[in-house]
Amino acid sequence: MATTTAAVTLTSDLLSDEMSVSATTTCMKAGTTADGLDMMEYGYIDIVTGDQFDLLGSDDSTGSLGKPVAGIMANKANKVYIKNHSTDETYYVSIMLDAQAIGKLYGGDWMFIPWNATDDDKDIEITASGGTNKICYALFHEGKTLIAS
């Protein structure tokens, strides 16, 4: 079984006593306890300002298959990591999912989320502001069946 683990440590002094939280999870396929995620995509791209782009397509139209495959990511236990590597703190990217705004990643920020991609409209979309943003991303997923070209 392939093994992917994701750990986080969170600390803050905003409370009266210092808060420190640590968590680790092993990323499994949906609904299973013995079978780990076994495929991944990892990329680094520049996002220019202005247009909204599909960073990850729920029908994989922007992924390794290069053309849409309906339902290929649907209802899986996919995990998505995105980091904005821009060094200017005023630069940011807006993250959306199926036109619903999620939030902004400013230079230096990262996020890690599950992505069920319940239908082919559930693309993860990204729009850059301030200047060209440098984005690193990784998708850990359950695998997909290649189609004939």
Partner 1 sequence: MATTATISISSDIAPGFGGISESMTLTQGGTLTDIDSTTGFSIRKLSATGAVDLVTMDDISNTVETKDSTAAKIYIRNIGYKGVIDKSVGVTVGIKAEAIGKLYGGDWLMMPLTGIDADDVTVNPATDDTVVIEYVMFYEEN
Identify the bridge partners of residue 78 per DSSP, sorted by sequence position. Answer: 115
CA dihedral of residues 133, 6, 35, 42 (deg, nearest 10): 20
C-alpha dist (Å) from residue 123 to 2, 59, 75? 26, 8, 13
Query: Least CB distance from residue 51 to partner 1, whole Å?
Result: 19
Q: How far is the CB of 70 from partner 1 (least distance, A)?
A: 18
Q: How far is the CB of 33 from partner 1 (least distance, A)?
A: 5
**Among positions 55, 95, 126, 135, the unique one binding partner 1 when judged by CB under 8 A:** 95
Cα radius of gyration rounded to whole Å, the chain: 17
- Which residues of this chain interact with partner 1, rule CB under 8 A? 2-15, 18-19, 21, 23-28, 30-33, 37-40, 42, 77-79, 81, 83, 89-90, 92, 95, 97-98, 100-106, 108-116, 118, 138, 140
